[in-house]
Structure 1
């Protein structure tokens, strides 16, 4: 039944190989997974940060370059302020001929001198005097009545608000639009306008309007590359789109809403609709907003590539970890499993088995101890067999010698009846005590007796010794009846009393008294043997109790060893000087029923 229970308990247990393999795999694969995940996350964050910074820098650089282009247009018009080149407009109201002549001179001025290197970007240039005269490079525009009054008022108000700077307006804010007669590849785009004043008198000479075609922005901004699928867009403060690389982006309502909500001073990065990264920058010159939009998937493309490589490395590392873990678990568990099998085999009385030492130090120590244990068990079994053999031989000898005690008892019994016949009471008492003494001594081969029987044996012994020493020895025995049944080894008190008579009473000229008492003290039984004879060296005798090489007081040391072997080191005997003279021996044993 016990073996069945043991097998059931072991069947539910986990093998050391499984535990080691699980631990090794956990220690190897878990850090690998964590490192892969953390590396991917950190690399993705770093890559996205770098791409975002690159995107923002591209927008900023593109916008600065565009602003430089706008500043160049502004610089070209400063010649009209500091030079007396507009005198031809004086007197244009006097006749149509003078107005026509002034218009020709205006065309020659702006085409041949001011904007000679930028003509491919210019669609038309207008100049409107405070009196309402119109000078234009566009032959279809010749009268102030042709302008869009609403746009013209807004443009003039904005220009007057910034009198020393050139203002920029969208195509929707143009003051003049030619009637559509036929399609042309050159389309109107943004318009630059500024006030022209006389630098000497400060008098307003008029308003200059430079209308650019779509090549003005497209020729430059088409070269800006925003990733592989990104797009760039330039818009005015009022939301009008000036340029866009990919018109399809404006079909996304959330993107369009975010772009329109950008302030004139907005700059930075933001994620739109969780799918787009938007970088924006505003121009301090024109107030235009340049926006770059790129899909987040494109920014994460390099991260996905790195993730694939990391996964390949992680899978390879996991395979290597499994192989290494399996080999390590096998190398460690194999000698342990083999040792466990040897122990199981040895438990079936196969004590001759021995294990070979392995290369692992700790397991080698187990193997050495196992071999030593097997040798010790065999040695103990051999010693036990020898002891059992000797015990059987001693028992046989005891059976063969049983006739001698019977002969002794019969002889003592004959002496007892002869002393009764001749009325020698003292001899009969001596013979009776001697018979009891021999009976207890011959039966002392038993392992345990009671304290009451031990006291009775001591009393017989003292009675016999009192006949020997006559008037020199007297004794007194006081035993609490509650401790009479306490178990004790036989012949514990006799060696103590014998030692007291030999070293105390016999050597005293006046003899002495031996007092034996026993009582219970909590969980102990305290026995004292006191003699009033000559005292002994108590300190010397106490030291000899723990000295196995000493030759004095062998009886006391034997009693001490027997008590401590049976009850433990907390019990035993101790000596102290007598109350008047002599010596007291205290014996302590546990109280038990």
Structure 2
């Protein structure tokens, strides 16, 4: 026998059968275990708030740690604190440059009181360089300075303290300090530190509401007070805290009295990164002052929820979830790279309608930005290529033409024809060919034309070999890769060798990579020269200004950081540079866009 005429009635009956008994059990348990429930919920709630503060403090300190690392990595702090200056002007200029970097950060961060670097040689840079230094303070004797030197480059975060480096200023700060090292140095040359305004920590703690008697305080890894809303009372001995219990607890919670309603609830969260402990203190009497109200609220809520759940769930669930499911599907499309989808468009001002419209606007903006980025990358690559094509060194061209004139006057017609033909091929590919990609064969011919001209100029001092595996001759690669490397080998390797030298150009496959090598038996390089091989250098008249740095950047721009140049050299024996490219150059990197 059919009890229900339609599925709507069936759902209504099913919800009623489930909700009514569950509600009754809920009310009975709530009445029976109100105290435990309030305490447990309070513990969870306070734990979440305390962990939230802990996470914010960790994030904030980690940001400042990254800022200090960035300053060490991208500034001349180590060089300034360690270098022996013979020119006082150069010393002042370097200090001013460091101060400018400090000032730029200070101008955007009001929560930073001071950025400074102090060397063991007594050199000091503070903020923008215009601060008056307190001559009565000995920075090298400060505990945080010694701790930073002993930390072997690790970050040291001190508890709150009074900083007196700047004259007539004595603010409470938290210091993030790090030892400054220079390459090859056995000991630190000084310390870089960032002083955070005490309010930066206190504001994070005060933003959390734990009731009229509740509060949050912070301990460092040694149990010292970093922040407390009644810090003056603590220092004067008019108030004490359960610091030993907190340090023993680590993370968790405890009550100060067996009688729950007379106790204080301490909730602790210890950071794994800093060792600091954030403690939330709640007076339990505030938790239970509305116990009867809570019971009545449970009953009323249960009744209302029972009625609302039966009525609203059947009427609105489908209507409410339909646009959400549509939005979810749109987001999944975006995750897969399809930015041409749109969110569910609702004409009302509900949260889902606003979310759908915002999502559509966001996707449209991302699509526009991606298209602009692609367009900019295309223009950048074309500009770089045109710049490379136009960078045939005038001295090379003049010398080649002079050689042709000299050979013509000497009646060496065959050599004139060879050199003129090679120069013509060189100019044709360098100037006329606007394609971004060429075959390995074309790149090898370009190098061959260049070496033919140089061979005729240097005669017996230079010989060369070009060996390219036939299997890679037809593969595509970005142009103007080998010629700068060959030119570098000639002008910086072979030219300064007393006896004749040889340049060998090879191309072959190695696993899933295409390898091109340029080897010379010139004067070679020492380890220091190798370490700076990719540094930016000013062009000179001997080369075309297209250095190995340019070649490295273009390869990695197209194919990724895992590809590029690797150098091996030995002083007096020669140098080998290896070009690592993907086997499928057309399918890798930017894909010829």
TM-score bracket for the superposition, by shorter chain length: 0.3 to 0.5
TM-score (norm 1): 0.39
